[in-house]
Every structure is written in C-alpha cells, then in structure tokens.
C-alpha cells in the first residue's frame, strides 16, 4: 500500500538535511536520507515559517539527544536533569507511559514530521516509538512506567518511592503486568499504529499486532461482563487490601466505610478513565487505517457491555468506576458496581455516569441503533436528582464550584465523601462517610455535570430523521471497506470518534505569526522551553513512622509528612512538617514541549476545515 501523503494547505513539506543524533541516537540508515522524504528542501521557505521549521528541529533534537532516555520520556525535568518526575519522582533510567509521557511526545514528534517532512524529526519519532517497543509487556500492553535499567531497578523503585506515595495506591505494589488505566496502553498503541503506517516499517509491525491482540485477549468473554475490560491484564496476585494502621482514629459514626471493599479492583470491569472508550477508539483506528474489519465484532461487544452494565435500581440509574466481572462472595451478582482504591467506595460515580452517557451518544452515532439511547433519560434524571447541597458547597471550599458529589451510595442515594487521617501511609488511611467537610484535595469530592448539555444532545439525536441517520452511519468507521488515512495530527487536540468518520476533517487551531514568533523567541539559543513544573516531591528518606498522628495538617492536602513521596504544589504545602511555601520549580515539561511544538506545527502546516 502507498505511504500516506498529506496535503499541506499549499505548503510543501520542508526537508532538512539529516544530521545530529549522536552515534547512539542516529537511527537513519544510509538508505534512509532526505531523499526518502517528499519535498525539495526548505530553500523556498522564508521568514517566520522558515524560522518555525528550524525551531521545531532544534527543540526536537534537544529533547531527543539530551532529555530523553533511550528515546523515552517522563513528564518533568529540572534543566540539569538532576531530578525527573512522572506522576511520581522517577529514576533517570525510566520512561513514563501515562500521558503526557512517552506516547504523548511520540504523537507530537510524528505530527512535527508531518508538518515539516524533516528526516531528523522522523528519526526522533522512530526512536521514541522504539522506546515504546522496548517498554511493551510481553503480553502486548504497557505498565504505567518502564525502567531501562531492568526489572530489579523497577522493583526497587516500587519498594521505595512507590511504596511511600500515600495517595498513589496504584504505585504501591509491583504487579508485573500491564494496565489500561489513564489511557497509557491505548495511546502507546496509537503511536505504534501511526509509526507503522508511515513507512510500513517491519520493526513496528509485530509490536503493533501484539498491542491489538492484547486488547482482544484482555476483553472479558461470556456472561454479563462480556466485552468489557479489566484495569490490568494478565491477571496476577494483586493487592486485596490497603493497610489501616491506627484504626482507632477512624470515627465511629453512621455510614463509615474503610478499605478496598471488593479486593483487587484491577480484575473488575472498569469504566474509570474511560477505558472502554479508549480501547474502542484504538480498535476503530485499526479498522479505518489497516482495514481490520475483524475488529468490528469486539468493538460491538464492548459497546453492548457498557450499555448492559448500567445499574438501574429504584430511582438510581448510572455506573460505578468498577463493576464486578464475577459474582461476589457476599452474593452480589456479576455486573454490580464495585469498589476500587481505598478512596473509591462501592457506589455510583457521577462523572463516570456522565462519561458513559456521552459514550452511548457515540455508539448511536457509530451504529444508528436507537437502543443505545434507551437508558440515557433515566441516567440523566438520576444525575439531576443528586446535586451537591448548597450547604456542602458553602462549607467546603474544595467543592464550592462543583455541581455534584463524586460518589453516591447504592440504595440510599446519599452522597459519600472521602477523608483521611494520619500523616503518611504507615500511620494513616482513608475512610468514607456522609460528611462533606475536610475532604482530600487530590481526589475531588465534587464534579461538574452538564445536565442541560446532556439533555440537549439526547434531544438532538432523538430528533434525527431516518435519512440523517442513514447518512451518518454510512460514514461510520464501522462501515469502512477500504483503508483510509487517519487524521494528520494527534497532539493538537485529542482525536475523537467523530474524527474517524469518512469525510471528516480535523482542523488545526489558528496560530498567528506573532504567536509563532513568541514560541520561537522563547526557545532561544537554549533549544528548550522552560515552564513552571506542576508539582514537587519529597525525596525518599525511608518509610515513615507508624506512630499515630492526631493532627489535621494533612487531611486536605496532596502530600503528607516529609516521608510521603506524593507530588504536591510547593506553593500550597501542609501547615505542618517543616514545610514552607516555595515557588514552583522551573524546568523542562513534556506538556510544555508538546504544546509549544503544536503551535509551530499548526502555524507551519495548518489543516483547514
């Protein structure tokens, strides 16, 4: 099949002479030179456009040669690379798979190549994709993180930094498998798909096929959970309970619950972070671009699973973060809402319900089947019935601007609120009750639910004529009969279901010459952009004390005492534990890199609607 070509809105791809990369970074072979890339150089480019293309190359080279480790990225770096962070502090030998880590940078590099045609940028993109290949679990998916120094080094990280991140329970145990959480596997899979499509490079064909097979292998087969996905796969002996030291500090009041109510939540059907939506979207990308019509059946099973698992008892109608894949020992049936982490109680989740309603809208658009909308009115009505009280918003500044509680108790329809006591994971724990006061800042007790927007979209879809529906379905990726190109850019905004329909154009944002010049000026001679990093962390100094802490300094903060390795805003630290407010550190951020590179991409080679 022909390599995909891209219309550059009147601007031919800029081709720059291959250079740089160092011996360990040089990925262009002797036969893969500028002659392999469409275009005829950049001599015809002038002014800010030429400067923007050159700035893209310089920024990419610096990230590839100096910041990355074997082509892999974490999230944030001090300029001298003495400390690095993903969602937690990372070893220099690590890469992070969770966005905005390695796959996010990979998408941006592919986009920059599409805009510039620069083989040096392509070499950096391929090196990052090869880092993802190296990080791929043998089963075909990805863990949150990978350590190029080997499994022993990764386990050491889990036993030290990971173990002491009080609020980051997913990092306190080394599973040794892969995860769908936070779209890491989905986005890494997208990068491999795009790299394979560029030149049909055999080095990406087998890893891509493994990633596709991983999604299929992990999908539940049979029963009410058929078509859904667990949070982690393959199944391993996971964490069934979090420690609850000093349990006498848990209040003895009505409704108090503590701990992981349904054991190892990673084996349940998960809707957290839109796992089903992300996996379906990746499979549809493969249908569209590879002609893999065999993937339509698992997509349909996944859509049916989400619809089937809607919880409808009495006035309640919605979804939890997790649903049981098998019957529970206490008699609850498979498909019932389940608890997850110790601060994610068994309940209905308002934000997850909103997301799943929006997915049902997508499934109707994909199929034209009105049955996908059957449960929507009751779910919207339920959401409308459980707003946050005015009293709760007035008394808790952390939820003052939110519309709904995050969790609602099954059966009673009462809002549930999470709390914690202690100062670190070794002397403290989480519990749940009905009090809206003193909730943690790191996991919001409230969410913004757009009831009016949901009702409006539902009404618009129900008002569609049969002719309109037929036209919509004819363009659906489920009806793709021959492979076609994916959207040109993935890093300027998230590619969504609508962008995969035949005839859709994913337009890029408009970037003025002045805005592009500002980005170029900010890059300067240093060849990287500095930004205020999102968080700071305490260095690992050992396990924290288990002696009771009876104060309240840490109950509503992102971090505990100095033994807690959880990230926090240094300008807003706890009022205890020898903290003093500090400005956020300046550093190199993958989020900033992707954003600034995206502005230059959209300026140099915009996609017009």
Question: What pLDDT shows up at residue 576?
Answer: 87
Give the per-residue pLDDT at 26. 31
Question: Could you tell me the domains of the chain?
Answer: 1-217+507-533+588-609 (no CATH), 219-488 (1.50.10)
**pLDDT beyond 50 at 226:** yes
Confidence tier at 28 by pLDDT (50, 70, 90): very low
> Which residues have C-beta within 8 Å of that of residue 333, sequence separation ≥ 6?
224, 324, 327
Whether residue 404 is predicted with pLDDT greater than 60 in this model: the reply is yes
| Angle value at C-alpha 72, between 68 and 76, nearest 5 degrees | 60
Is the pLDDT score of 608 beyond 80?
Answer: yes
Q: Is 110 in contact with 191 (CB distance < 8 Å)?
A: yes
15 pLDDT higher than 50: no
**Residue 572 predicted with pLDDT over 50:** yes
C-alpha span between 227 and 222 (Å, rounded): 8
d(CA 325, CA 145): 26
Q: Looking at the predicted structure, is the pLDDT value of residue 31 above 80?
A: no
What are the pLDDT digits (tens) for 266-311?
999 999 999 999 999 999 999 999 999 999 999 999 999 999 999 9
pLDDT in tens, 130-164: 999 999 999 999 999 999 999 999 999 999 999 99
pLDDT score for 254:
86
Please report which confidence band the pLDDT of residue 42 belongs to, taking 50, 70 and 90 as the band edges.
low
Tell me the pLDDT of the chain averaged across its residues: 92
Q: What is the pLDDT of residue 467?
A: 98
Of the candidate ranges 7-21, 89-103, 132-146, 299-313, the one whose mean pLDDT is the lowest = 7-21
382 CB burial (10 A radius; 0-12, 13-18, 19+)? buried
Mean pLDDT (whole number) for 310-318: 97
- pLDDT reported for residue 45: 77
pTM for this model (two decimals): 0.93
Q: So what's the pLDDT on residue 46?
A: 86
Q: Mean pLDDT across the stretch 389-415?
A: 98
pLDDT of residue 9: 29
- The whole-angstrom separation of Cα 266 and Cα 27 is 38
330's CB contacts (< 8 A; 6+ apart) are none
At residue 4, the pLDDT reads 28
User: Which has the higher per-residue pLDDT, 578 or 547?
Assistant: 547
Check pLDDT > 80 for residue 578: yes
What proportion of the chain, given as a percentage, has pLDDT over 70?
93
What's the pLDDT at 562?
97
Lowest mean pLDDT among 156-160, 236-240, 325-329, 364-368: 236-240
Question: So what's the pLDDT on residue 43?
Answer: 61
Average pLDDT over residues 113-122: 96
Determine the Cα–Cα distance for residues 187 and 278; give it in Å rounded to an integer. Answer: 8
Asked if residue 13 has pLDDT above 50, the reply is no
Report the pLDDT value the prediction gives residue 238, as an integer from 0 to 100. 85
């Amino acid at each position: 099949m022909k390599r995909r070509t891209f219309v550059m809105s009147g601007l031919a791809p800029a081709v720059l002479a291959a250079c740089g990369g160092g011996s360990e970074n040089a990925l262009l072979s002797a036969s893969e030179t500028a002659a392999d890339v469409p275009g005829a150089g950049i001599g015809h480019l002038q002014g800010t456009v030429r400067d923007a293309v050159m700035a893209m190359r310089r920024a990419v080279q610096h990230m590839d040669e100096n910041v990355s480790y074997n082509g892999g990225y974490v999230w944030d770096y001090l300029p001298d690379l003495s400390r690095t962070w993903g969602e937690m502090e990372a070893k220099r030998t690590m890469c992070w798979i969770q966005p905005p880590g390695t796959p996010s940078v990979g998408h941006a590099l592919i986009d920059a190549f599409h805009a510039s045609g620069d083989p040096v940028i392509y070499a950096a993109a391929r090196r990052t994709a090869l880092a993802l290949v190296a990080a791929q679990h043998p089963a075909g998916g990805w863990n949150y993180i990978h350590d190029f120094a080997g499994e022993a080094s990764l386990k050491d990280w889990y036993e030290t930094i990971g173990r002491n991140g009080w609020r980051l329970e997913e990092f306190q145990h080394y599973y040794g498998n892969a995860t769908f959480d936070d779209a890491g596997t989905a986005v890494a899979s997208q990068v491999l798909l795009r790299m394979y499509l560029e030149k049909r490079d055999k080095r990406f064909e087998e890893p891509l096929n493994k990633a596709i097979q991983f999604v299929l292998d992990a999908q539940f087969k049979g029963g009410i959970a058929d078509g859904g996905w667990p949070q982690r796969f393959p199944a391993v002996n996971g964490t069934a309970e979090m420690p609850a030291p000093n349990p006498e500090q848990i209040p003895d009041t009505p409704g108090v619950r503590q701990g992981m109510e349904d054991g190892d939540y990673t084996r349940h059907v998960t809707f957290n972070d839109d796992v089903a939506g992300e996996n379906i979207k990746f499979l549809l990308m493969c249908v569209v671009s590879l002609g893999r019509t065999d993937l339509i059946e698992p997509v349909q099973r996944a859509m049916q699973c989400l619809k089937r698992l809607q919880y409808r008892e009495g006035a309640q109608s919605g979804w939890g973060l997790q649903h049981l894949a098998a019957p529970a020992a206490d008699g609850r049936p498979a498909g019932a809402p389940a608890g997850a982490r110790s601060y994610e109680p068994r309940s209905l989740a308002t934000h997850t319900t909103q997301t799943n309603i929006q997915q049902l809208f997508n499934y109707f658009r994909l199929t034209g089947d009105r049955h996908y909308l059957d449960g929507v009115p009751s779910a919207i009505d339920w959401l409308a019935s459980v707003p946050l009280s005015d009293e709760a918003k007035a008394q808790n500044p952390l939820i003052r601007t939110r519309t709904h509680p995050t969790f609602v108790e099954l059966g009673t329809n009462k809002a549930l609120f999470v709390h914690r006591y202690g100062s670190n994971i070794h002397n403290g724990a989480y519990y749940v009750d009905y009090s809206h006061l003193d909730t943690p800042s790191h996991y919001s007790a409230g969410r913004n639910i757009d009831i009016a927007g949901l009702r409006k979209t539902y009404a618009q879809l129900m008002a569609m004529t049969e002719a309109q529906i037929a036209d919509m379905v004819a363009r659906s990726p489920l009806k793709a009969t021959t492979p076609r190109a994916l959207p040109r850019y993935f890093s300027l905004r998230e590619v969504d279901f609508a962008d995969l329909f035949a005839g859709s154009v994913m337009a890029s944002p408009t970037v003025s010459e002045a805005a592009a010049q500002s980005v170029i000026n900010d890059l300067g001679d240093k060849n990287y952009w500095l930004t205020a990093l999102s968080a700071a962390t305490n260095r690992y100094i050992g396990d924290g004390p288990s002696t009771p802490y009876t104060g309240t300094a840490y109950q509503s903060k992102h971090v505990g005492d100095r033994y807690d390795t959880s990230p926090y805003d240094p300008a807003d630290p706890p009022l205890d534990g020898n903290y003093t407010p500090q400005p956020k550190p300046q550093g190199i951020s993958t989020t900033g890199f992707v954003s600034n590179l995206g502005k230059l991409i959209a300026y140099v080679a915009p996609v017009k609607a």
